[in-house]
């Protein structure tokens, strides 16, 4: 079936604008993660959902970042009042189970550039 789908692929925002990034996980996948990947770095954890419940948001850099998954499927990551340091690739990943040995499947990310 289809993999994890993210939209838009690229987003340019002026500093101070709000943005919304969408993730469509693989159908039936329980776990959903958001990661932030800065240029030349590995992905860094932002937040984790098990179905519709946000179980961990410890990686969100500030209260300008907000994520939701209201029906346990599609998820949206929202960034308010964007800053230049928010420029990065935002990756979404999903897995069939929430078990520690269940591999994550990643989307191709949304590349956010804040000017």
Partner 1 sequence: QKEVEQDPGPLSVPEGAIVSLNCTYSNSAFQYFMWYRQYSRKGPELLMYTYSSGNKEDGRFTAQVDKSSKYISLFIRDSQPSDSATYLCAMSANSNAGNMLTFGGGTRLMVKP
Q: Which residues bind partner 1 (CB under 8 A)?
A: 4, 31, 33, 35, 40-45, 48, 50, 55-56, 58, 91, 93, 95, 97-109, 111
Residue 17 or 50 with smaller CB distance to partner 1:
50
Q: Closest Cα partner for 47 from 30, 24, 65, 22?
A: 65
Residue 79 C-beta: closest distance to partner 1, Å: 19
Residue 45 or 66 with smaller CB distance to partner 1:
45
Phi, psi (rounded to 5 degrees) for 85: -70, -10
CA angle 89, 29, 26 (to 5 degrees): 60
Residue 16 C-beta: closest distance to partner 1, Å: 27
Residue 16 or 61 with smaller CB distance to partner 1:
61
Per 3-state DSSP, what percentage of the chain is helix, strand, and coil (rounded to 5)? 5, 50, 50
């Amino acid at each position: 079936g289809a993999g994890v789908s993210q939209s838009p692929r690229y987003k340019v925002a002026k500093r101070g604008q709000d943005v919304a990034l969408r993730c469509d996980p693989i159908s039936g996948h329980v776990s959903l993660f958001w990661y932030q990947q800065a240029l030349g770095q590995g992905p860094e954890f932002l937040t984790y959902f098990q179905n519709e419940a946000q179980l961990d948001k410890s990686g969100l850099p500030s209260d300008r970042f907000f994520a939701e998954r209201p029906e346990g499927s599609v998820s949206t990551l929202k960034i308010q009042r964007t800053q230049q340091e928010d420029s990065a690739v935002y990756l979404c990943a999903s897995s069939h189970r929430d078990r520690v040995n269940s591999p994550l499947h990643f989307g191709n990310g949304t590349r956010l550039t804040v000017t």
